[in-house]
Amino acid sequence: MLLTEDEQIDAVLDGQLKIIQSRHGYRFSVDAKLLADFISIMPGDVVVDLGAGCGIISLLLAKKGRAGSIVGLELQEELASQAKRNAILNGLEECIAILLGDLRALPLASRCADVVVCNPPYRKKRSGRINPDPCKALARHEIAMSLLDILAAAKTLLRSGGKLALIYPANRLTEVFSRMRSQDLEPKRLQVIYPDPASYAKLAMIEGRLGGKSGLTILPPIFGQGRFSIR
């Protein structure tokens, strides 16, 4: 597999997956693993991974073998290239398609997905220091996409009753719920992530259903990195 000078191959899940990613640029975090674990997928579901990065969530879901097909959409050419090569490297190119494109101008048909997943930029555009590395900056700050952009794209892509899953800072949960409902995405499942039992919540994973009825299931909390703490 051809690599650039700034790329390396890392083992994931005790070597079950091999991931090409940058040595010094944007690298995936445990958030992606936790979100892939959280998503509820039925056999044969069509999944769209918005902001796929190097393809880590798509790869983890494909490895589970439940999804019918997975489409990863990535804005940055470098990351889209890594995602495509990662699918090939792991022999999963038959079930994962990677598209280079912007979720604000979707290159996909409306109502094509049963599940949409997104591990989005967490930080507001004008909050904190913007990383000088453009790849890291786009991944961490809402520069190229906002929460509303993500929810609007999910609403367009999902079939009636389809599900959106995303991970977001816990202190922005009220904003997430409000904006989800504005797009007819009803929050149905919630799991909160704490650094440790004595700390305030850091992140939350939310699953919403397009056109769903009210009623939220709150799952047991996750502490630290959950089951990935020893990986």
pLDDT digit string, tens, across residues 64-105 = 988 999 999 999 999 999 999 999 999 999 999 999 999 999
Global pTM value: 0.90
pLDDT of residue 133: 57
pLDDT of residue 66: 86
Domain 7-228, CATH: 3.40.50.150
Percentage of the residues of the chain whose pLDDT score is greater than 70 = 89
pLDDT of residue 122: 76
Averaged pLDDT for residues 183-209: 98
Domain boundaries, the chain: 7-228
pLDDT of residue 231: 46
Averaged pLDDT for residues 30-51: 96
Distances (CA, A) of 45 to 88, 112, 118: 21, 10, 16
pLDDT of residue 10: 95
Averaged pLDDT for residues 137-162: 82
Sequential DSSP letters for the chain: ----TTEEEEEETTTTEEEEEESSS----HHHHHHHHH----TT-EEEEET-TTSHHHHHHHHHT--SEEEEEES-HHHHHHHHHHHHHTT-TTTEEEEE--GGG-SS-TT-EEEEEE----B-TTSSPPPSSHHHHHHHBTTS--HHHHHHHHHHHEEEEEEEEEEEEGGGHHHHHHHHHHTTEEEEEEEEEESSTTS---EEEEEEEETPPS--EEPPPEETTGGGTT-
pLDDT band at 229 (very low <50, low <70, confident <90, very high): confident
Tokens describing residue 157? 């892509």
